[in-house]
Chain A
């Protein structure tokens, strides 16, 4: 995109092309190198945005949260310990700020959705593609063309409603592993807990969501032939 700031180009092919390791980038960013920091931002902003979006369900707000996350990161990156898990640290900041933003927001504000804009959501071959049964008809959203965005928006609205019944950690664990497809170990590092606790959180979350869907949205559950 021609309107993208130069930092993006630098990140992908400029002076930081040779800096392949995350450690190099973090060290330079901690030393005050703004270009290295921008490269870090560019490589992580999409994941940060999506985690925030799954929590706040508003594209504009999630974008603001993402920017706040990176601003906070810049302030504290000097304190990052060598050998620590940078991603887990960053995504933990994201979760905190997204929950904070959600709490501060007015409950009935007009939200902006980007489910119509997203290209190749839930890509093939990755975790998190298990769904696809449309409401009532059972049509696969990939074949639904324009209705795909509508379907995703509806599913997101249902998730937002049912996720309110989950505890904070249950919700975070479900979003990170089941929706974003992160490995269990990474989710455990982000939440500062053990892998078995993460599995337990997800199991509980799954049960609550199943119950809610069966009770209130049975039309979204495909019927199987016996």
Chain B
């Protein structure tokens, strides 16, 4: 490899090698030595790889006066620190831990690396929430749904269209129903039958306009229909 120092062709071949990153440290030193002495190779190399421009920034020898007072100042700080009473062991550990955590944060990968999994988890959560929202919903919205279970829906099956309804008198919480459905269905007038409504889980509300003598209005709510 000694020919690299004198041979421009060998040096340029090394510089053009696509695997230049894998040159050994000794080869790199020789290539750099050749380029330092050879204007032509240096220009060609910098034209091909402009980043070589920054190699000129390598630190040189600093003038001695630059370090004036450095050692003395450092020594003074060390002696001052040594003279102070040693901090408690726990405090030292805490300070070390904080410093380590700060260093870890400083060297942590960019936030994008953390953001990608976070977004994935979010998308997954929203998808599950939309598709299987029933997992997160409370139980039946009304005990009437349970009481008026359609004949084609398990379990039970005791209720058939036109059959007598078995609606509990009170809600599971012990309160009165807002609308007395059994009375409504079996009362005077012509409320729609379950066959007409075509669903045993329907709730029927009747509104009478008492003064005008107009036809009553029937309002049917069917909770068995799912969109």
User: In the complex, which of the residues A63, A126, A183, A209 contacts B32, with contact meaning CB atoms closer than 8 Å?
Assistant: A126
User: In the complex, which of the residues A7, A126, A168, A178 contacts B54, with contact meaning CB atoms closer than 8 Å?
Assistant: A178
B58/A181 in contact, CB under 8 A: yes
B28/A220 in contact, CB under 8 A: no
Residues from chain B with a CB closer than 8 A to the CB of A152 are: 56-57
A118/B62 in contact, CB under 8 A: yes
**CB-CB contacts below 8 Å: B30-49 with A:** 31-33, 35-37, 39, 42-47, 49
Is A44 interfacial (CB-CB < 8 Å)? no
A121 in contact with B60 given A131-B46, A131-B53, A179-B55 (CB within 8 Å): yes
B42/A117 in contact, CB under 8 A: no
A141 in contact with B56 given A1-B64, A124-B36, A127-B29 (CB within 8 Å): yes
B22/A199 in contact, CB under 8 A: yes
B56/A181 in contact, CB under 8 A: no
Interface-located stretch among B67-75, B146-154, B164-172, B210-218:
B67-75
Is A91 interfacial (CB-CB < 8 Å)? no
Min CB distance A85 to B, Å, is 16
Closest residue on chain B to residue A207 by CB atoms: B51
| Chain A interface, >50% SS class | helix
Per-residue 0/1 for A53-85: is the Cβ within 8 Å of any B Cβ (1 yes, 0 no)?
Answer: 110000000010011001100110000000000
Closest residue on chain A to residue B48 by CB atoms: A224
Residues from chain A with a CB closer than 8 A to the CB of B73 are: 67
Is A107 interfacial (CB-CB < 8 Å)? no
A contacts with B, residue count (CB < 8 A): 81
Give Cα A220–Cα B74 distance, bound, in whole angstroms: 41
Residues from chain B with a CB closer than 8 A to the CB of A126 are: 29, 32-33, 36, 58
Min CB distance A4 to B, Å, is 6
Residues from chain B with a CB closer than 8 A to the CB of A7 are: 71-72, 75
User: In the complex, which of the residues A1, A119, A151, A220 contacts B50, with contact meaning CB atoms closer than 8 Å?
Assistant: A220
Closest residue on chain B to residue A120 by CB atoms: B60
Is A13 interfacial (CB-CB < 8 Å)? no
A213/B43 in contact, CB under 8 A: no
A74/B58 in contact, CB under 8 A: no
A71/B74 in contact, CB under 8 A: yes
Is B106 interfacial (CB-CB < 8 Å)? yes
Give Cα A127–Cα B68 distance, bound, in whole angstroms: 29
Residues from chain B with a CB closer than 8 A to the CB of A125 are: 29, 32-33, 36
Is B142 interfacial (CB-CB < 8 Å)? no
Residues from chain B with a CB closer than 8 A to the CB of A189 are: none
Closest residue on chain B to residue A42 by CB atoms: B71
Residues from chain A with a CB closer than 8 A to the CB of B69 are: 5
Residues from chain B with a CB closer than 8 A to the CB of A108 are: none
Residues from chain A with a CB closer than 8 A to the CB of B54 are: 131, 155, 159, 174, 178-179, 209
Give Cα A223–Cα B53 distance, bound, in whole angstroms: 13
Min CB distance A113 to B, Å, is 12
B39/A140 in contact, CB under 8 A: yes
Is A21 interfacial (CB-CB < 8 Å)? no
**CB-CB contacts below 8 Å: A204-220 with B:** 205-206, 209-210, 213-214, 220
11 additional A-B pairs beyond A50-B58, A129-B55, beta carbons within 8 Å, are: A5-B72, A45-B67, A50-B59, A119-B61, A121-B58, A125-B36, A126-B32, A127-B29, A159-B54, A169-B107, A180-B59
Q: List 21 A-B contacts (CB under 8 A).
A: A1-B64, A45-B67, A54-B57, A67-B73, A74-B81, A120-B61, A123-B58, A127-B29, A129-B55, A130-B46, A132-B42, A133-B42, A133-B46, A138-B43, A155-B54, A179-B57, A185-B25, A199-B22, A202-B21, A213-B53, A222-B47
Residues of A within 8 A of B (CB): 1, 3-5, 7-8, 34, 37-38, 41-42, 45-47, 49-50, 53-54, 63, 66-67, 70-71, 74-75, 96, 99-100, 103, 114, 117-133, 138, 140-141, 151-152, 155-156, 158-159, 167-169, 174, 178-181, 183-185, 199, 202-203, 205-206, 209-210, 213-214, 220-224
